[in-house]
Amino acid sequence: MDFAELAAIASGHAQARAIQVALKLGVFEALATRPASAADLANIVGADLRAISILANALVALSLLESPNGAYRLSTAAQRYLVAESPEYLGGMILFDEANFPLWASLENTVRSGRPARRPDMFQNDAGETERFIRAMDSLVRARGDARWVAEHLDLRRARKIADLGGGPGTYLAAMLRKNPAAAGELWDLEATLKVSRKILLEREADCADRIVLSSVDYNSGELPAPVDVIFMSNVIHSETAETNAELIRKCFRSLAPDGTIIIKDHVMNRALTHPPSGAIFSLYLMLTTNGRDYSFDEISRWLVDAGFTRVRREDLPSPPFSSSLVTAVKP
């Protein structure tokens, strides 16, 4: 690593904040249909002229805006990912990061104490936080294309009932059901999340929403519904301790019908917990907000085998754009 690379990493917070604040102010929406001068943009978003000019010029430098004739317009990337009407809108995830940005100021305290910077409640205790979190998960998956890739690459033709445990907005489940029209789906999550799930399914997945049963399930309390043919979990285990995950995998084993399949999608780390780099860095965020971290394939496979699963397999999703893996196993 040379000086330029290190300096770019160390100053990355400034770029992130520029995008977050521009999105929160409505800069990209203001330019979604037509270009605007700095004065017009300041008037539209309610900002100081000098300050919005500086912010807009920074966004030009980041290739999110263009200003060929003195007026600002969206770049192709901004039009694709930062306008709410786009099917690949990433803004939900960016606004979630913006709301959590103050937590990073507590990283030193968390490293010293080992305690999260906020109560690890999975954003369930405030309706606004819950909606922002679940919409962020939907936003990220749609923009990056995870659900489409997973649905295309999993062979679920024999499944009659697919359960998405901790499925949040239902984005993955809807994609799997669309690919497998003979299957029915169950979305298992906490009640506060399901209130948001209902809205997103009706907004974005109306063609298959009636094939999804929403069930209030707390996997830390009692057994899981049974029997189902497939249990899919995306980005669940990284929020929990190793002990909780081992027990959760045992519950999944008991919930599945014979020959049923468990599918875990997450950052799956090497033994040293340093690769993929995105997983190692994401573990810092998990340390601030949960009791978990990203786990290695050795750890995940041990939980599966100890629970009774066989035929444990790992498949890495193509990188870029993805940084996660699928781990599958079968109940004999």
Residues 62 and 154 both lie in one domain: no
pLDDT of 134 reads 98
Task: Kindly report the pTM of this predicted structure.
Answer: 0.95
Query: Predicted confidence band at 232 (pLDDT cuts at 50, 70, 90)?
Result: very high
In a domain, 87, yes or no: no
Residues 148 and 77 both lie in one domain: no
pLDDT of 228 reads 98
pLDDT of 120 reads 95
In a domain, 114, yes or no: no
Q: Give residue 205's domain range.
A: 144-330
pLDDT of 24 reads 97
pLDDT of 150 reads 97
Instruction: For residue range 72-85, list pLDDT tens digits in order.
Output: 999 999 999 999 99
CATH number of the domain enclosing 228: 3.40.50.150
pLDDT of 244 reads 98
What's the 3-state SS for the chain?
A: CCHHHHHHHHCHHHHHHHHHHHHHHCHHHHCCCCCECHHHHHHHHCCCHHHHHHHHHHHHHCCCEECCCCCEEECHHHHHHCCCCCCCCCHHHHHHHHHHHHHHHHHHHHHHHCCCCCCCCCCCCCHHHHHHHHHHHHHHHHHHCHHHHHHHHCCCCCCCEEEEECCCCCHHHHHHHHHCCCCEEEEEECHHHHHHHHHHHHHHCCCCHHHEEEEECCCCCCCCCCCEEEEEEECCHHHCCHHHHHHHHHHHHHHEEEEEEEEEEECEECCCCCCCHHHHHHHHHHHHHCCCCCEEHHHHHHHHHHHCCEEEEEEECCCCCCCCEEEEEECC
Last residue of a domain, one of 43, 58, 81: 81
In a domain, 226, yes or no: yes
Query: Predicted confidence band at 301 (pLDDT cuts at 50, 70, 90)?
Result: very high
Q: To the nearest whole number, what is the mean pLDDT of the chain?
A: 97
Residues 281 and 158 both lie in one domain: yes
pLDDT of 157 reads 94
Residues 153 and 63 both lie in one domain: no
pLDDT of 63 reads 98
In a domain, 69, yes or no: yes
In a domain, 105, yes or no: no
Instruction: For residue range 96-111, list pLDDT tens digits in order.
Output: 999 999 999 999 999 9
Instruction: For residue range 307-317, list pLDDT tens digits in order.
Output: 999 999 999 99
For the chain, how many structural domains are there in total?
A: 2
Query: Predicted confidence band at 242 (pLDDT cuts at 50, 70, 90)?
Result: very high
Kindly state the average pLDDT of the residues 207-236.
96
